[in-house]
Structure 1
Amino acid sequence: MTKTKNKENNAASEVNAGAYIRIILALALSGLAELASLFFIQPLLPVLAIEYEVPVSQVSIILSAETAMLAIGLLFTGTLSDHYGRKRLIIVSLLLGGVLTILCPLANSWALLVTLRAVIGLSLSGIAAAATAYISEEVAPVVAGIVTGYFVFGNSMGGMSGRIIASQLIDYVSINTIFYGFAVSLILVAILVKFLLPASRNFKPTENLNVLCVVKGAAAHFKNRHLSLVFVISFIIFGVFTSLYNYLAFFLKGEPFNISHANAGLISFSFALSFFTAPQAGRLAEKYGSMNVLRTLFAIMALGMLLTLVNQVVIFIVGAVIFTACFFGCHAIGLRWVSKNATHARGQAVALYLFFYYMGGSLIGFINGFVFHATGWHGMTGFIIALLVVAAIVATSLSGSEQKRPMAVAPMK
């Protein structure tokens, strides 16, 4: 009898392990395709500024438009995922993003291209909120932080591959060809997610999409101090990260570095470190407390920014790499924190976190264009470090009650 039970337990473990592998692959691929299709435009900013005769201080508006509409879309797509389901929303978002990206080569003006990219940001807004909520519902709490870390790793690989591929191709192919390539990748990943991602077992759809109920639900999340303060942190972390990569190529092109746009784009290879830093941050957060780990990461990010002030290319790269590696750890902790502390409508809660996250990238990234133009890299570095100090203060205000308040987690069924 005992042997039979052991065999059944071993078989169940194998099934769970196989399901988790499929979940990690499907969600990591969806995050990869999403971020690659959004941020391949970033290393092309200097080229776009010349081609469309756009001032350097304003060219980042195309990326800000993407992230702003992505953020706004999250106000609705989180709720849609609570009603229609996580997997369905991920697939539809990927397909819609692919179709719209195919249309980009038809844009014959800067205003039209910016508008189309903004709509693409809106179409892809359903992926992150639905994926994070799926993890909280379908993955055992003990490993949910690690799985979330690998989803963030997929995001980082998307941001990395999009930036690197575009930066290396632009000297050999047209921008239109690059658009077509990323469009195809979105459609292919949608097909893979359809077959890879297991159907939800623990998802309970909301009964209706009443706007008043949605607003009341969002208001309740803001009243939850453990969520509202983390929204502030999310706004800052992606804002400072976007600022670094928006203007890095402009800075390295000048004296004393004289590095080409293609070579500057290679710094994005540092995103691969998220394979270690994102899951490891989740492990450390479970052991030492999320906010304690966040404060440490913020301090290290500030050190990384200070290293970029040294006029030696190797030290500059080390500083940028340190900053980047810590950023992905911060994001993994933030996502998991929201999922654990949401008392209802988890998809909407994650969506609100991501709304502030992407709005930070949009607004702070755009503002730093003027800071960089007016005060140079030194002034922008000072502004970034000041924002990190604010984030650390917010994290400190949350750390005192972290161990006192039991976390709400979704039970496995």
Structure 2
Amino acid sequence: MEANCENVTPYTPDEMSFWRVTIALMLASLSVFSTLYVFQPLLPVFTSQLNISATEASFLMSACVLAMVAGLFVLGFVADRYGRSLVMKGSLIVTALSLLVIPFTPSFEWMVTFRVIQGFFLAGIPAAAMGYLGEEMAHKHLGLAMTLYISSNALGGMGGRIVGGYMTDFFDWRITLWSFAGFSLIATFSFMFMLPEERFFRETDQRIVEDLQGMLVHLKNAHMLVLFLLGVLLQIVFTAIWTYVPFYLQEEPFTWSLKWIALTYSAYIFGVLAPPIAGRFSDAFGLKKVMFTGVILLIIGVMLTSISSGILVLSGLSLICMGFFVAHSMAAALVSKSATHHRSGASGFYLISYYIGVAIGSTAVGTLWEQFQWNGVISVTFLLIILFLLHPLYKGE
């Protein structure tokens, strides 16, 4: 499809189409990220009902995320050639249908298989949404649309965890997944109805080798490599905490029910609110110093979770969310600021490193949980944070 751009202007908030695009992408984001993370609070349920270990159960997260990394490569490439709208619609359909099928699967291995398929297509929205917004929205108002879209990412993840865990405390986990599949189908049909056709998209004949070369250039830059590594480390720490905290809170001395454990994910609201505030401070103090502050908050939060007090654990989880999202947003901004060329390639590598961290934090830390319980999770967290803090990235501004 090649757009005829004569007398066509980008959308502004004064137009209904601006809000149709924004709401459509918010619904898509809510569907994708709630589907991705609804499995996280259910892992203890799968261990008991399917007779598997916590590490094995975590494959429902890590396998999905690793497939998502592959999807970011492939679907991003397809979207640049055949249209972002097409990729996003197809991805939402497969996502909804796969979630509908998973409760019918006869074994845990089949569940993981469908999660791999699901993860690949979950990448369709993050791979194409920002490109769609960048082309169709007026640059002056792009920040508004982008902020609403990114906020819906966090809200989708939070909603998937809270609602999924709370529902499963009252109903069978299959009913929970079917309910989320129903929401996903509604979001998919709404998305198809609301999203306008692309007007500025042009197919490209650029070879995939050229795309990869644009990204690989950044692997020769030591400063960029540090930022990619930090993305991995931050997400390993964050994912490890949130993957194994349901197991931690089910045991003595807490013995919390799943519905109360699910409510701990409300701490994500601090992750939604903190980055905009941190952005203002970064203008005055610099990105690196604010990122360092975020890591300090993360450390304090981890320390608080080691104390056997429900209030202190909840306080710690809130600080972990606040610190992580502040540090993550500053690191992402540093990637964009540091890249003098092929900015989309640099952002792509950071996003990929981010999801690799999710996969590692979900499953690799599982062995430490099996052997040493919460102390094992915390120990690897401190090692990673110490490596993070000692890195020469923090020397100077």
8 A contact 1:240–1:364 mirrored in 2 = yes
Equivalent position to 1:317, from 302, 314, 317: 314
Task: Give the C-alpha shift of residue 315 in structure 1.
Answer: 0.8
Give me the CA root mean square deviation: 2.9
8 A contact 1:153–1:278 mirrored in 2 = no
- Cα distance in 1 between the residues matched to 2:284 and 2:21: 24
- Equivalent position of 1:99 in the other structure: 97
- Cα distance in 2 between the residues matched to 1:328 and 1:140: 27
8 A contact 2:12–2:18 mirrored in 1 = no
The answer to whether the aligner puts 1:249 opposite 2:256 as a matched pair is no
- After TM superposition, the structure 1 = structure 2 runs for residues 11-410 of structure 1, keeping only pairs within 5 Å, are 15=13, 21-137=19-135, 148-197=146-195, 205-208=203-206, 210-225=207-222, 227-339=224-336, 342=339, 347-394=344-391, 396=393, 400=397
- When the two structures are superposed, what TM-score results if normalisation uses the length of structure 1? 0.83
Q: Deviation string for 1:25-71 (max 9, x for gaps)?
A: 33333222111011111111111011111022332111111111111
- Larger displacement relative to structure 2 (183-192 or 296-305): 183-192
Amino acid at match of 1:219: L
Q: Aligned to 2:170, what secondary structure does the other structure show?
A: coil
Task: Give the C-alpha shift of residue 341 in structure 1.
Answer: 5.2
Q: Deviation string for 1:139-163 (max 9, x for gaps)?
A: 6667756654443321121111111
8 A contact 1:77–1:351 mirrored in 2 = no
Q: Deviation string for 1:112-147 (max 9, x for gaps)?
A: 111111110111112113223445555666775665
8 A contact 1:270–1:324 mirrored in 2 = yes
8 A contact 1:153–1:274 mirrored in 2 = no
- Cα distance in 2 between the residues matched to 1:191 and 1:336: 34
- Cα distance in 2 between the residues matched to 1:178 and 1:125: 22
- Equivalent position of 2:6 in the other structure: none
Q: Aligned to 1:170, what secondary structure does the other structure show?
A: helix
Q: Aligned to 1:57, what secondary structure does the other structure show?
A: helix
Q: Deviation string for 1:280-324 (max 9, x for gaps)?
A: 334444454333221211111111111111121101110011101
- Cα distance in 1 between the residues matched to 2:34 and 2:249: 23
Alpha-carbon distance change, 57 to 102 in structure 1, aligned in 2, over 3 angstroms:
closer
Q: Deviation string for 1:69-118 (max 9, x for gaps)?
A: 11122122222233233343222211221122122122100111111111
Alpha-carbon distance change, 175 to 327 in structure 1, aligned in 2, over 3 angstroms:
same
Task: Give the C-alpha shift of residue 252 in structure 1.
Answer: 1.1
Q: Deviation string for 1:249-284 (max 9, x for gaps)?
A: 111112221212221111011112333123333444
- Cα distance in 2 between the residues matched to 1:276 and 1:123: 29
- Cα distance in 2 between the residues matched to 1:228 and 1:200: 35
Amino acid at match of 1:46: P
- Cα distance in 2 between the residues matched to 1:296 and 1:395: 16
- Cα distance in 2 between the residues matched to 1:341 and 1:133: 20
8 A contact 1:129–1:348 mirrored in 2 = no
Amino acid at match of 1:249: P
8 A contact 2:38–2:160 mirrored in 1 = yes
Gaps of 5+ in 1: 1-11, 401-413
Work out the number of aligned pairs and report it: 388
- Cα distance in 2 between the residues matched to 1:132 and 1:151: 9
- Cα distance in 2 between the residues matched to 1:166 and 1:128: 22
* Percentage of identical aligned residues: 27
8 A contact 1:75–1:352 mirrored in 2 = no
- Larger displacement relative to structure 2 (239-248 or 188-197): 188-197
Alpha-carbon distance change, 330 to 397 in structure 1, aligned in 2, over 3 angstroms:
closer
- Larger displacement relative to structure 2 (147-156 or 161-170): 147-156
- Cα distance in 2 between the residues matched to 1:24 and 1:366: 35
- Cα distance in 2 between the residues matched to 1:74 and 1:45: 25
- Larger displacement relative to structure 2 (133-142 or 366-375): 133-142
Amino acid at match of 2:382: I
Task: Give the C-alpha shift of residue 248 in structure 1.
Answer: 0.5
Q: Aligned to 1:182, what secondary structure does the other structure show?
A: helix
8 A contact 1:101–1:180 mirrored in 2 = yes
- Cα distance in 2 between the residues matched to 1:299 and 1:23: 38
- Larger displacement relative to structure 2 (372-381 or 356-365): 372-381
Task: Give the C-alpha shift of residue 369 in structure 1.
Answer: 1.0
- Equivalent position of 1:411 in the other structure: none
Amino acid at match of 1:188: I
8 A contact 1:133–1:350 mirrored in 2 = no
8 A contact 2:169–2:257 mirrored in 1 = no
8 A contact 1:291–1:395 mirrored in 2 = no
